Amino acid sequence: MTYCVGMRPKAGLVIISDTRTNAGIDNISTFSKLHILAEDAERLIVCASAGSLSVTQSMLAMLAEGLEPDEEDGPRRTVATMPSMFRVAQLVGEALVSARHDIMRTLYGTDISTDVSLLLGGRIGDGPLALYLVYSEGNFIECQPDSPFVQIGELKYGKPILDRALQWESTLDEAVKVGLISFDSTMRSNLSVGLPFDLIVIPADRSKPVIRRRILENDAYFKQLSADWARLMNESRQQIADPPFMSPQ
């Protein structure tokens, strides 16, 4: 299992993904699930993936090679040539469906899942930042200001903090903090999600730098965040009144 979260407040775009692909008492492996699809002076487009690793790798290879042209003798369609983030989402969805169909043929008669979900985000030229949730069937939805985050993978443990603490007006510092708390909560409840995490922050203000970071097991900030969050939750719990019906008169 995995966990990835994308946040799109007014201040920019944040995507965080874990790297765990297998979990067990003595069998844990890691693989980066945050992928750069295009990066140049005009565009920065990234995606995070959850689900079948073989389908994901096949899809990424298709996108790198380019999909069949729309017209005979036309150029192959790539992420680097799409005119908008919406068109990129369409192309990625098409590549995902094609990759799933190819691998499903080889897995016919088995119960191996080919499901993959993606967080796709970035910007092209002077266009705005966009964040999409792409489903296994190739369809997608765009993240909106009234709910400025989307998740894939083991999402239920980290969702409550995002629901309560992340708003459209949140700063990027706040978004990263809330996102990491959601990962800490998920890790405590599900051993199939774990460090290291991959993080990318793309400010809406183009004059500010893009931040990329791998958060390792010994990351001082994450260790402190985890300890502070546990302590503050316990302190807050103690401040809440006890239920009066537990002390009958």
- Could you tell me the domains of the chain? 3-241 (3.60.20.10)
Question: Which residue in the block uniquely carries the two structure tokens 């964040």?
Answer: 131
The pLDDT, as a whole number, for residue 222 is 97
Q: Is a pLDDT exceeding 80 seen at residue 59?
A: yes
- Tell me the pLDDT band of 76, cut-offs 50, 70 and 90: very high
Q: Is a pLDDT exceeding 60 seen at residue 39?
A: yes
3-state DSSP call for residue 141? strand
Contact 37, 121 (CB under 8 A): no
The pLDDT, as a whole number, for residue 23 is 45
Instruction: Give the integer Cα–Cα distance in Å for 6 and 100.
Output: 23
Q: Is a pLDDT exceeding 50 seen at residue 25?
A: no
Record the tokens describing residue 152, joined without a space: 């894939």
The pLDDT, as a whole number, for residue 212 is 97
Long-range contacts of 211-215 (CB under 8 A, 24+ apart): 215/180
